[in-house]
Every structure is written in C-alpha cells, then in structure tokens.
C-alpha cells in the first residue's frame, strides 16, 4: 500500500459541504461524478498527497443513503492506494479476509474494491489502483497528518492492519496507543474508551501550510472552533460530522 488514497465522508449535500471543504478549508476539487452503482454523487478533493472524498447519497435505500439515515454526516471509509488491486485482492482472499468485492470495479478513484468492516475492526476499507499517477500535483493549504481509529483492543487492531497491509509501527512515548505509518500519513489507533466508546474511524488530523491564513479563512466564514497557540479543533457540526484537528506543526 503506497499511501492513504483518500478518506470518505458522507454529507447530506455536496453543495453545502463544498462551502466548508472547498471555500473555507481551501481544498482543490479534482473530480466530481455520479456513480450509479453506489447511488452517490461523489467528489475527490486534494489534501496534500492524499484526498478527501465527499459522498452525497442519491438513493435513500443504498448503502450510503442508509449510513446517512442511521448515523448522519461523518467519516465513512478509508481507502489505500495499491499498485495492483487484483494481486492485493488475491492475497487477501488467500488469508480468508472477508471481502465485499472479490474483483475490482470502476470507481471515482480508479479500479476499486471494498473489504468488509469486520475484517478491519469496524473500519470500512477500500483499495484503489488509480488510473493516473498517485502524484496528482494539486496544491492544497492543508494535508492529512493522521487518521484516528478507536479500538476495543489496540494491540489486536494494530496487528490486523500490520498483517493485512504491512504498515510499519512508529515509535511513540508509551501509553495504550499505536501509530502505523502509511506513506506520508499515519493511522493512530487508540482505546475506544478514550473516544466515547466509538470503534472505527473517529477523527482526522491535518497540518496547515499557512496556519495564520487558515485562521483568517475561519474568521471570514464564521467557523466555530476551539483555538490553541498552534492548533485548532473543530466540532463535528462545523465540518459535516467530522472531528477535525488542524495544527501548524508536524
């Protein structure tokens, strides 16, 4: 797995989500399309060397429509970039990993396939082999630093991601947490009790290229957030269901 290709976020309407993610946060739009077999209108936005995918359900009976009805807006899935999705699926099938897709299909990110959330501790994982180079080159004012995942058993969850995808562990200052490197980004796996008992994806951490300019954009848009000297935290209602932490530091 070369990198985190994107993190998928379900939103009620793309037009409303664009006001935050494109106009305020400043993420460039890479592509937008209707994907009939998924029942969504989707958009990929550049976020450093990874992407944010916004998903607007068009079919209330589809999986994304049911997700929105049950959970509201928020983090939906995690996608890894792989150079050969067919080989990756074959390897996972040989390990008896539960798959939603046993063969690749066409998606917004290229050739894609989904693993069942049971395979990765409640995280819906997508694999993608992009049709274009992973270096899309679109400049963005923020980039993904890490994705936070809650787990009942941190050791078991980290071992699952390591055994399935080969992510190396990053040294930390002790404590019941594990960090796994994925390209330039990382997965931070924490005890579920630290994040309200939630298992699965719980938060995104970003790094701002120009922190002062970003604060000015938040002021201009009236974005409510909790500010520190070199960091800012947005509550989910301000960022379409996503717990979002942005720092000026690595």
Q: How confident is the model over 5-24, as pLDDT tens digits?
A: 999 999 999 999 999 999 99
Task: Please list the helix, strand and coil fractions of the chain in percent, rounded to the nearest 5, in that order.
Answer: 25, 40, 35
149 near 180, Cβ under 8 Å? no
Q: Is 62 found in the same domain as 100?
A: yes
Q: Is 176 found in the same domain as 78?
A: no
- Tell whether the model's pLDDT for residue 241 goes beyond 90: yes
**Number of domains into which the chain is organized:** 2
Sign for the CA dihedral angle at 108, 112, 116, 120 comes to negative
Burial class (CB in 10 A: 0-12, 13-18, 19+), 216: exposed
Strand order in the sheet with 200-208: 169-170, 178-182, 185-191, 142-151, 200-208, 244-247, 231-234, 226-227
**Residue holding tokens 């980004």?**
185
Last residue of a domain, one of 83, 98, 129: 129
Q: Is 125 found in the same domain as 13?
A: yes
**Residue holding tokens 């995808």?**
165
Q: What is the CATH number of the domain that holds 235?
A: 3.10.180.10
pLDDT digits (tens, 9 = 90+) for 166-211: 999 998 877 899 999 999 999 999 999 999 999 999 999 999 999 9
Provide the residue range defining the domain that includes 197.
142-247
Residue 59 has a pLDDT of 92
Burial class (CB in 10 A: 0-12, 13-18, 19+), 172: exposed
Residue 136 has a pLDDT of 55
Residue 139 has a pLDDT of 84
Residue 239 has a pLDDT of 96
Last residue of a domain, one of 129, 159, 183: 129
């Amino acid at each position: 797995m070369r990198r985190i290709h994107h993190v998928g976020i379900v939103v009620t309407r793309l037009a409303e989500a664009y006001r935050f993610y494109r106009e305020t946060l400043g993420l460039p739009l890479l592509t937008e399309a209707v994907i009939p077999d998924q029942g969504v209108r989707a958009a990929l936005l550049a976020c450093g060397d990874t992407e944010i995918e916004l998903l607007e359900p068009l079919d209330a009976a589809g999986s994304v429509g049911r997700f929105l009805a049950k959970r509201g807006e928020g983090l939906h899935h995690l996608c890894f970039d792989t150079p050969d999705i067919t080989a990756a699926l074959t390897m996972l099938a040989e390990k008896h990993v539960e798959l939603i897709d046993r063969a690749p299909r066409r998606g917004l990110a290229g050739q894609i396939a989904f693993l069942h959330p049971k395979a990765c501790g409640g995280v819906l994982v997508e694999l993608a082999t992009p049709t274009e180079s992973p270096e899309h080159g679109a400049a963005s004012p923020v980039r993904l630093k890490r994705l936070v995942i809650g787990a009942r058993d941190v050791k078991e969850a980290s071992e699952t991601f390591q055994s399935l995808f080969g992510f190396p562990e990053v040294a930390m200052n002790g404590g019941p947490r594990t960090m796994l490197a994925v390209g330039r980004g990382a997965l931070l796996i924490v005890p579920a009790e630290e994040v309200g008992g939630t298992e699965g994806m719980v938060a995104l951490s970003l790094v701002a290229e120009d922190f002062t300019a970003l604060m000015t954009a938040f002021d201009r848009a009236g974005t409510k957030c909790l500010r520190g000297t070199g960091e800012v935290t947005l509550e989910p209602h301000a960022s379409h269901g996503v717990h979002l932490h942005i720092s000026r530091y690595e």
